[in-house]
A and B are shown apart, each in its own frame.
Chain A
Amino acid sequence: MRTWFLLVAVLLGFVMIPSCREKSQINNRVVVTAVGIDDAAEEGCALSIQAIEALKIAGSLTNQEDNATGLYQTQGETVSSAMKSFVTQTGRNTYLMQNRAIVLSMDQIQKQPLQTTLDYFLRNTESRPGVYLAVSRGSPDEVLGIKTSSYTIPSEYLVTLLREGQRWGYSAGTTLLDAERAFSGMFDAYLPIVRVEGEGDDASIQMDGTAVFREGSFVGELNAEETRGLLFIQNAIEKGAVILEREEGPPVTLELQKSRTKISLERTGDTAAFTIRVTAKAEIAEESDGDSLAAGNLRELSRELEQSIEQEVRAAVEKTVMDYGCDVFGFGRRIMQKEPGLIRGEEDDWPQKLKECAYHIVVDAEIRSIGTDTGAKPNQVS
């Protein structure tokens, strides 16, 4: 009897499980690799969808004449409706699981809070938290439309730039997960700004500062130095070139090799005093004056490096906290963790109260290597 029961169950299973013909065919879907969102005034928003052309990736990638993606334009009242109108226009559905980047235009972030713009991607089960976010100076389709011979899929170019830009201190790389954390109220969001330089085959993407948000609304920008200061505080910087302009002699270029930041705080009456302690190690990457490498001069260079980092960090704090009144560093959260009594019940007032806090920046930099050239003077020849 048990065997019959099992047999019937298996047969029933075969009958009920859908067959392949009921599933979407690959050429009925476009595999989205990047999405651009622009303001379309009365129309709502305009989407640029960079997607892999399934039929183009048949065969070897090396045999392809062009990259394997196409760029589609669509419009709708919301991101979701624009996506749906893409389906009705092309008859093809979007597949978001391979999406690598979302690029928003400056107009779009000024028009709508970040959370509203990104809500579709936060809810969609196919969307991944590791997707990179960026803001484009011009239209997002300029960024997504760039063709590069280095990458078969152009969004990889953008993602590599954003990721490496963060490691090298040029770009405040942000993923959807970082934005999600920001939306939960732990800190304010920031996104890297990119722009396109050149045209046609010479076009390239350049990093162009950081867009800063307060509770999801765009409040202002950080320049390159402030962006690096932000990355120092966020412990996100791994490498970077620092050019020290000298009063006497040519400039010296240092390469950061390691940087570590610790933030501590102590209560001072009704506010707090934060100490941002940056420890950095660097090596001399380029110099043309051998005297720079003398022991005393190395100490001097270290001091100059410390001053340079301190300036950048201070500029980032001044701009974000004092000027924009936002808390991208999670200072409020740190108070919650270390001095909860100070903030409990007054959480909403704290971004403004942060302006009254003291910020001590302590930098300890060390030049630990001069490279393979000792800088010794060559022998005099007659």
Chain B
Amino acid sequence: MEKTVKISPWQLLSLILVSRIAVALTYTGGAAGVAHGTDRMVSLVLEAGLLLLLFLPTLWYIHAAKGIGSLEYAYVQFGRGGAVVAVLYALYCLYIQCLDLMQFDHFASTAMSPDIPRVVLCIALVAAAFVAAFYGLEAAARTAAVVVFLMTLVIVFLGLSLIPDMKALNFPPLFYDGVAPVIEGALENLPRFLELGVMALLVPYVKGMSRGYSAGILTAAAVVLVMQVTLVGVLGDYSEMVTYPYYTAVTIAHSSMLQRLDILVAAIWLAGIFVKMAFMAVLFLGCLRQAFGDKLKILYVALGGAVVLVVGLILGDTLLAAEHGYLWLASTILLLAFSVVLPIVLLGANAVRVKRRKERGEAV
């Protein structure tokens, strides 16, 4: 991660959109029995509101830290102890990548083709993502901008081509079981956007962070809403009975002589997962370089890739049971720790440091 590199709010928006859509393409909430159908549409709006609310501590941090990233800020507050924060951030990035690889492994082997050489595919994906880490944040952001354009285009195109298969009868009534499923749905989906936790880290590298973040969250909510309308309109309540409802819905899409358009979903999803993992790999490498220097950067990348691969492949088969169980809990705790607690701790440490200096009569 080069300090001189700055990405625009639109590039941040692209990174957020890619991450959010890649997760939504393989959403399995229906199978878990949380908010579904029309209720999930409201859940998505509520979730966007919650993600904006959870950004407030980071926003507070951005204003207080005056352009310094949370990692540098930690070094200022804790001296060499800042390396602990760097390692924590690096582990957080690896955790996100492990989840992505588990999702990739599960989706590729259950929804696309059970015969697919999943181990080889996973190795190829992880290797590509970690090699991309050397190219830096700007390269990841530029790739994200291209991928997000294609993703949006494909989702809108598929939505339009599926209109003849959509029926009003397929939409379940809103709030039929009250508002509880809507709230549960929003909370269930919230820790799927773990990128919020690294926003404070990105402060020095993004121009107009808050603008890019809020636009990214709102645009992502709109795109995922289009996906939800599409899948409910086509499948109706059956969307709750299939593992990957959006993919199932698009398997019937065709336009003119073009058929089997589900391949488009597989392609954009693969591209999205790659960009998301590469983005996290860039941050992972950046954190370790800051903590331990540049010399062993290939070792960091190789070790990181190996950890993601081993964890992802071992836990991939247990994804469905785990993602609405302990993984949800772990992800929620981590999301709150990195997006709420860490900025507050850093600012609190600074306040204490300033107070002590003032008491000692030193210059602040």
| Chain A residues at the B interface, C-beta cutoff of 8 Å | 1-2, 5-6, 9, 12-13, 16-18, 125-126, 128-130, 177, 180-181, 183-187, 330, 333-334, 336-337, 340, 344
With contacts A5-B131, A9-B131, A125-B112 known, is A181 near B235, CB below 8 A?
A: yes
CB distance from A236 to the nearest CB of B (A): 11
Instruction: Name the one of A13, A17, A126, A184 contacting B241, with C-beta atoms under 8 angstroms.
Output: A184
Known: A5-B298, A336-B176. A186 touches B241 (CB 8 A): no
Name the distance in Å between A225's Cβ and chain B's nearest Cβ: 24
Q: List 8 A-B contacts (CB under 8 A).
A: A9-B131, A125-B114, A128-B252, A180-B238, A181-B236, A186-B236, A336-B172, A340-B173
In the complex, B1 has a CB within 8 A of chain A: no
Is B117 in the interface zone, CB < 8 Å from A? yes
| Chain B residues, CB < 8 A from A187 | 169
Bound Cα distance A181, B127 (Å): 41
B237 touches A184 (CB 8 A): yes
Complex CA–CA separation, A126 to B262 (angstroms): 12
Establish whether residues A340 and B120, one from each chain, have CB atoms under 8 Å apart when the complex forms.
Answer: no
Q: Known: A337-B173, A344-B176. Is A17-B127 also a contact (CB below 8 A)? A: no
In the complex the two chains form, what is the Cα distance from A358 to B36 in whole Å?
A: 32
What is the CA–CA distance of A340 and B241 in the complex, to the nearest angstrom? 22
- Is the CB–CB distance between A186 and B298 below 8 Å? no
- CB distance B237 to A185 under 8 Å? yes
Q: How far is the CB of B2 from chain A (nearest CB, A)?
A: 15
Q: Once the chains bind, are B176 and A180 in contact (CB under 8 Å)?
A: no
**Does B124 have its Cβ within 8 Å of any Cβ on chain A?**
yes
Chain B residues, CB < 8 A from A126: 113
Selected from A186, A340, A344, the residue in CB contact (under 8 A) with B170 is A186
> What residue of chain A has the Cβ atom nearest to residue B247's Cβ?
A125
* In the complex, the 7 A-B pairs of residues with the closest C-beta atoms, listed nearest first: A184-B237, A184-B238, A180-B238, A181-B236, A129-B252, A337-B173, A9-B127
Identify the B interface with A (CB < 8 A).
110-114, 117, 120, 123-124, 127-128, 131, 134, 165, 169-173, 176, 234-238, 240-241, 248, 251-252, 298
A6 to B301, CA, bound (A): 13
Q: Please give, as numbers and ranges, the residues of chain B lying within 8 Å of A177 by CB-CB distance.
A: 165, 234-235, 252
Q: Which residues of B contact A330 (CB under 8 A)?
A: 169
Q: Chain B interface secondary structure, helix, strand, loop or mixed?
A: helix
Q: Nearest Cβ distance between residue A230 and chain B, in whole angstroms?
A: 15
A129 close to B176 (CB less than 8 A): no
Taking a contact as CB atoms under 8 Å apart, the answer to whether B113 and A186 are in contact is: no
Residue of B nearest to A344 (CB): B176
A125 touches B110 (CB 8 A): yes
- CB A9 to nearest CB in B, in angstroms, measures 5
Least Cβ–Cβ distance between A26 and chain B, in angstroms:
15
Bound-complex Cα distance A129 to B234 (A): 11
CA distance A180 to B131 in the complex (A): 43
**Please, which residues of chain B bring their CB within 8 A of the CB of A18?**
117, 120
Complex: how many Å from CA A51 to CA B57?
62
Q: Which residues of A contact B127 (CB under 8 A)?
A: 9, 12-13
Say whether A336 contacts B123, CB under 8 Å: no
A330 to B, closest residue via Cβ = B169
- Give CA–CA (A146, B152) in the complex, Å: 46
Q: B111 and A125: CB pair below 8 A?
A: yes
CB distance from A190 to the nearest CB of B (A): 15
The docked-state distance in angstroms from the alpha carbon of A129 to that of B238 is 12
Q: How far is the CA of A344 from the CA of B234 in the complex (A)?
A: 24
Interface pair B120/A181, CB less than 8 Å apart: no
CB distance from A115 to the nearest CB of B (A): 10
Cα–Cα distance between A306 and B252 once the two chains are bound (Å): 36
Contact A336:B173 (CB < 8 A) given known A13-B124, A18-B117, A125-B114: yes
Chain B residues within 8 Å of A334, by CB: 169
Chain B residue contacts of A184, Cβ below 8 A: 235-238, 240-241
13 additional A-B residue pairs with CB within 8 Å, beyond A177-B252, A184-B235: A1-B298, A5-B298, A9-B131, A12-B127, A16-B120, A125-B110, A126-B113, A129-B251, A177-B235, A180-B235, A181-B235, A185-B237, A333-B169
Neighbouring B residues of A9 by C-beta, 8 Å: 127-128, 131
A183 in contact with B238 (CB, 8 Å): yes
Q: How far is the CB of A17 from chain B (nearest CB, A)?
A: 6
Docked complex Cα distance between A186 and B233 (Å):
13
Which residues of chain A are near B173, meaning CB under 8 Å? 336-337, 340
How far apart are B251's CB and chain A's nearest CB, in angstroms? 6
CA distance A177 to B110 in the complex (A): 19
With the chains together, A344 CA to B172 CA distance in Å? 13
Closest to A2 in B: B134
CB distance from A129 to the nearest CB of B (A): 5
In the complex the two chains form, what is the Cα distance from A16 to B126 in whole Å? 14
CA distance A340 to B169 in the complex (A): 14
CA distance A17 to B171 in the complex (A): 44
A142 to B238, CA, bound (A): 33
Complex Cα gap A17–B121 (Å): 9
Contacts of B170 in A (CB 8 A): 181, 186
Q: Which residues of A contact B113 (CB under 8 A)?
A: 125-126
Assess A183 versus B176: contact at CB under 8 Å? Given A13-B124, A128-B252, A129-B252. Answer: no
Chain A residue with minimal CB distance to B111?
Answer: A125
- Residues A337 and B171 in contact in the complex (CB < 8 Å), given A12-B127, A130-B252: yes
* CA–CA, A291 and B1, complex, Å: 89
A126 CA to B235 CA in the complex, in Å? 18
What residues of A have a CB within 8 angstroms of the CB of B251 in the complex?
Answer: 128-129
Chain A residues whose CB sits within 8 angstroms of the CB of B235 once the complex forms:
177, 180-181, 184
Determine if A340 and B238 form an interchain contact, defined as CB atoms under 8 angstroms apart: no
Per the bound structure, the CA–CA distance linking A12 and B237 in Å amounts to 45
B294 CB, min distance to chain A CBs, angstroms: 11
Q: In the bound complex, what is the Cα–Cα distance between A18 and B61 (angstroms)?
A: 50
**Cα distance A333–B238 when bound, in Å?**
14
CA distance A4 to B170 in the complex (A): 55
